[in-house]
Chain A
Amino acid sequence: MAAVKRLKRVAALQPGFISFKSSAESDDLNSGRRKRVNKNKKKNWNKHSDIQDVEEFLDDVRLQERATGGLVSEKPDDTLFFVDIGEQKKGVQPEVQERKKGKKSNSRPLRIDLILQHDSLVPPPKDVLAHQQPNAKKLRRIAENAEKLAAMGVLPRRQKRLLSRRPATKTSKAKTAANNFPDRPYYDLWGGEAEETADPYYLEQTGKSRVKRPEKLNAKPSILPAVEVIAPGGSYNPDFFSHQALLLEAHEVEVKREKAELRIERQLAVKQEDTATEETVFQEQVEGLVEEEEDEEEEEEDVSIRGGLQQEKKTEKERKRERADKIKSQQKQAARAFTDKKQQLFQLRSIQATLKRREQRTRERVAQRKANQEAEKSMPRRLGRLKFQAQDLEIQLSDEIPGSLRTLKPEGSVLKDRFKSMQKRNMIEPRERAKFKRRHKVKYVEKRAFKEIT
């Protein structure tokens, strides 16, 4: 206690010390009764010694250092005081101007920045360890050692292991460029290839060799040429007759189409008998009201007759006669067959002739069938729901023929020609464009905004 008091006293009595705070409460501290405590233990000592005045003093010192950058008592007088010589007119005016400018330019710092600014005048402590390195000596030694080894040509183990590692295969990472990349490279695909030396069974089982393409797959599905040249009448400046021939061909196609259309129309037409007349309408209206009894009676009679026939029984005599008749007819037939056979001996020539004729016919049929099969090879097959439909013949009428190449107007589309050609050669099945089908019905709702108006 005494020590504390002494310290306080020392602090307060230090020559020239100026405290920031007024020491009004110091009286209050001294006024309390003295408490007697044993201070022979550290705990007690800590608990009962009064260090408030020292702390206050130190706080004050720190505050002074923060606020003014040093103890006030140590500062020279001219930093603390100034001579008041009244208002300075010169100094005021530029300040006002500046303030106006500031408002205009809005260059005043934000308040938040001001708050966050470092306002202590105590400089931050110097980092002593900034230029020191822990374990510097050891590291230096290691580095020296490594340098020595490198000079000798010995690589450290880590590096050695890295070097010995295989480089990552680039092909796995390399992207496969798109097939339509305009500058894609090509190479000699059919050039000599290294013979595969490994066991073919092993290659096959591990999926390393490709399955061989069956020879049959290389056959073309049609014997038609890939590019069918247009008839000579399709020249831009055709010969008169070939042009006429082409026109005739196109005409025939058109006639055929028209015929088919007409036929359908005819089939769809309503028959004269099917149209309702007054009579039929009346008949329909009275249907079932007038009973027709006659028909029913007839039917009943029929049934009775049939039933009567079935019930009749054959007598023994009749059966015998029937049997005899049957045997007789069989004998007659056999005799007839025998004589016929005999007679055939004399008909040999005519039989031979018929045989020949038959053979001839078969031969003709075989030839015909073969020809048909041949022709079928060049025909489009039925490959799907739709039949192949040839595109319209490209023609130009006589008055459309251009006099020169400059005035030529191309007919038809090459794209369509290619597409149809592929269909014709059975490479793709004929299809029609998929129609857009709505899965759910569209629901129409009038918006409220519109509703109000209408």
Chain B
Amino acid sequence: MGGLQKKKYERGSATNYITRNKARKKLQLSLADFRRLCILKGIYPHEPKHKKKVNKGSTAPRTFYLLKDIRFLLHEPIVRKFREYKVFVRKLRKAYGKAEWTGVERLRDNKPGYKLDHIIKERYPTFIDALRDIDDALSMCFLFSTFARTGKCHVQTIMLCRRLTVEWMNYLVTSRSLRKVFISIKGIYYQAEVLGQLITWLVPYQFAHDHPTDVDYRVMATFTEMYTTLFGFINFRLYQTLNLVYPPKLDSKSESELKAEHEEDYAMDSESYLEKLSALSASLARVVATAEEEENQLDQFPAEGEDLENMEAREKEQKEQEAQNRLFEGLKFFLNREVPRESLAFILRCFGAEVSWDKSLCIGGTYDVTDETITHQIVDRPDIDKQYINRYYIQPQWVFDSVNAKMCLPVEDYFLGVTLPPHLSPFVEEKDGDYVPPEKLKLIALQRGEKHVQDDEEEDDDDDEEDNDEVDDEDLTEEKNLKKMEDQRSQGKTLAVKVTPGKVKPWETGSMGNKVRLEQEEKAEEKRLAIMMMKKKEKYLYDKIMFGKKRTTREANKLAAKRKAHEDTSKAEKKQKKAKKQ
């Protein structure tokens, strides 16, 4: 009894939140400015758990911010700049209205501006923090740099984005840190590993955009403003780590090489340097002239047991990495007119190849089509008139697939006019027992160094007269293999993926094989015993897991069978067609 009655909505979650409009009034900003400020400072709206309580009994949907966030915003010096800008606009409008042109000029000279450096520093206290968050910045800058200069956004922004993206690509070329590429219908996905961080970004195709109407360009421009600042600082730091000059300068040697006589035809003087940089065909100048490649050895530590294994694994990984980085080293490419120059040049240069293109295509081509030392020419048309004998004519997909496979794939599948094998996504990682498309299986086998003994496609194309029963035999064996695979998987063994039937199984040959077999049997026995010794609870869990695995394998097998059926039908169709032709 007694005491004052507690009022509603004066404590608890109602006091922790503030509506957007109230926040805006508290900061004395217009809605557009408020939105801009929130984006720049990285303050996002928050959905309260109990909306009705926060909204003082009303259930109307509203945008809420945390009150503490808004209080934090009150300290931001940029808020004052925004207000100043508001006043500036008002004065300018007034001066215009009164036709005071000197006044307009004076006001324009004293236009208030602001910097975002301190915000970047505040949001990303360390460099690695910033690098982790660069995905967005990259995608946005690449997107904006492809915009046409039609007034949808500021031309200066477009130019800045272009400059930053060119710097980024040059960095990747120099540091050789590109890992994966995926050409999708939306755009090209890239993945790079920079200072241990995996960075993924999306680059739109170079075609004209249709500007969607339901996108808020102002919001996007604000994001870009923030991201360009962040991106520039990151670029600076990255260039510093490689001892490169920032802003990037071409090597004096390559600069003289690139000095074309018709330079002014390509671009204006002010633009041609950026164009040359964006051609990516030359190396960059360094602060300290050092040896091109420093072999950085992993430090050796005395280690035991598991550590040792880890170390070995790491060492192996690094070696593989280095091998991948040198994937195209020593090869000389020539890009035809119809292939996407920028992406291909970027990728090829990232793996150490030499690239050139036609003079009319872009600035920066270093050699001509007629160069005899060219090893590969990338062509994307059904046929070409004049062919040189000492070079491969391949389709552009070869480059992308080779990068993803971390090895130079056989060029035969990618020759001119050949139906290409599917372009698989390198971003998919199949788990144990998942369905793996046969192309990928083949690729894995190739990576292991096995030669593909039998090639389905070749079989299709060349050996029409092959006996049917042989095919059947193969089918049978394949089915058997599948069954075996399923059994093995369900037993929980790590599976050695084999796609080469007819190869002599190692345990069927002599005493060596026997030994291996015995070992395996022993292992299986141990496992069975372990299963028997399990507690009831664990057993239950184990059974469950096994059931799940079996299910996935069953599904995978179903898919494989489906694929087989599909291929069979297509094969039959082909045969029919051929028969008709004949």
Query: Which A residues form the contact surface with B (CB < 8 A)?
Result: 175-184, 186-190, 210-211, 213-214, 217-218, 221, 225-227, 229-232, 234-242, 381-385, 394-396, 403-406, 408, 410-419, 422, 426-429, 431-433
Contact = CB atoms under 8 A, between A and B. Distances in A.
Contacts of A180: 154, 156-157, 160, 225, 228
Interface in B44-72: 44-47, 61-63, 68-69, 72
Contacts of A428: 35, 39, 44, 219
A413 B184 contact: no
A394 B157 contact: no
Given A180-B156, A217-B69, A414 B44 contact: no
A214 B215 contact: no
A176 B109 CA distance: 11
A175 B107 CA distance: 12
Contacts of B88: none
B338 interface: yes
Nearest to A176: B113
Contacts of A240: 422, 563, 566
Given A179-B115, A234-B185, A235-B424, A221 B123 contact: no
19 contacts: A175-B111, A179-B229, A180-B154, A186-B236, A190-B130, A190-B237, A227-B135, A227-B139, A227-B200, A229-B182, A239-B439, A241-B562, A381-B47, A383-B47, A396-B185, A408-B185, A410-B185, A414-B202, A427-B44
Given A239-B422, A394-B186, A427-B44, 11 more contacts: A178-B156, A180-B157, A221-B44, A230-B184, A235-B422, A236-B185, A241-B562, A385-B61, A410-B204, A428-B35, A433-B214
Contacts of B116: 179
Contacts of B129: 218
Contacts of B163: 182-183
A182 B211 contact: no
A211 B72 contact: yes
Contacts of A229: 182, 184, 189, 200, 425, 427
A208 to B, nearest CB: 11
Q: Which of B113, B133, B207, B225 has the most CB of A within 10 A?
A: B113
B444 interface: no
Contacts of B112: 176
A423 to B, nearest CB: 10
Contacts of A431: 216
A177 B215 contact: no
B501 interface: no
Contacts of B183: 235-237, 405, 408
A239 B423 CA distance: 7
A236 B139 contact: no
A176 B229 CA distance: 14
A410 B160 contact: no
Contacts of A418: 139-140, 143, 220
Nearest to A414: B204
Contacts of A221: 44, 46
Contacts of A394: 185-186
Interface of B: 35, 39, 42-47, 61-63, 68-69, 72, 75, 109-118, 120-123, 126-127, 129-130, 133, 135-136, 139-140, 143, 154, 156-157, 159-160, 163, 182-187, 189, 200-202, 204-205, 207, 209-216, 219-220, 223, 225, 228-229, 232-233, 235-237, 240, 246, 338-340, 380-381, 395-397, 419-420, 422-425, 427-428, 435, 437, 439, 559, 562-563, 566
Given A210-B122, A433-B213, A217 B439 contact: no
Contacts of B381: 406
Contacts of A239: 422, 424, 437, 439
B437 A241 contact: yes
Contacts of B235: 186
Contacts of A385: 61-63
Contacts of A412: 185-186
Given A190-B127, A415-B215, A410 B187 contact: yes
Task: Sort A-B residue pairs by CB-CB distance and give the 10 closest, nearest first.
Answer: A232-B425, A176-B113, A226-B135, A182-B159, A381-B47, A414-B204, A186-B232, A211-B75, A411-B185, A239-B422
A177 B112 CA distance: 9
Given A227-B139, A229-B427, A236-B423, A210 B75 contact: yes
Nearest to B63: A384
B118 A210 contact: yes
Contact of A236 (B135, B184, B214): B184
Contacts of A182: 156, 159-160, 163
A186 B185 contact: no
Contact of B123 (A213, A225, A417): A213
A396 B185 CA distance: 8
A406 B160 contact: no
Contacts of A427: 39, 44
Contact of B435 (A190, A241, A382, A410): A241
Nearest to A402: B185
Nearest to A416: B212
Given A181-B160, A229-B200, A418-B220, A234 B186 contact: yes
B189 to A, nearest CB: 5
B72 A213 contact: yes
B574 to A, nearest CB: 15
B380 A406 contact: yes
A239 B204 CA distance: 22
B564 to A, nearest CB: 11
Contacts of A238: 422-423
A384 B160 CA distance: 33
A181 to B, nearest CB: 6
A189 B117 contact: yes
Contacts of B139: 226-227, 414, 418
Contacts of A188: 233, 236-237, 240
A404 B235 CA distance: 35
A385 B60 CA distance: 8
Contacts of B126: 190
A245 to B, nearest CB: 10
Nearest to A238: B422
A419 B424 CA distance: 27
Contact of B211 (A183, A405, A415): A415
Q: Which of B44, B129, B136, B185 has the most CB of A within 10 A?
A: B185
Contact of B45 (A236, A384, A405): A384
A276 B182 CA distance: 63
B425 A414 contact: no
A149 B160 CA distance: 58
B339 A406 contact: yes
A417 B160 contact: no
B423 A237 contact: yes
A404 B380 CA distance: 7
Given A186-B233, A239-B437, A217 B43 contact: yes
A75 to B, nearest CB: 60
Nearest to B221: A180
Nearest to A419: B215
Contact of B563 (A214, A241, A381): A241
A428 B423 CA distance: 35
Given A410-B187, A428-B39, A177 B211 contact: no
A414 B143 contact: yes
A234 B425 CA distance: 9
A369 to B, nearest CB: 13
B568 to A, nearest CB: 13
A410 B205 contact: yes
A217 B540 CA distance: 44
A424 to B, nearest CB: 12
B413 to A, nearest CB: 12
B423 A184 contact: no
A396 to B, nearest CB: 5
A408 B246 CA distance: 37
B75 A175 contact: no
A383 B130 CA distance: 26
A405 B340 contact: yes
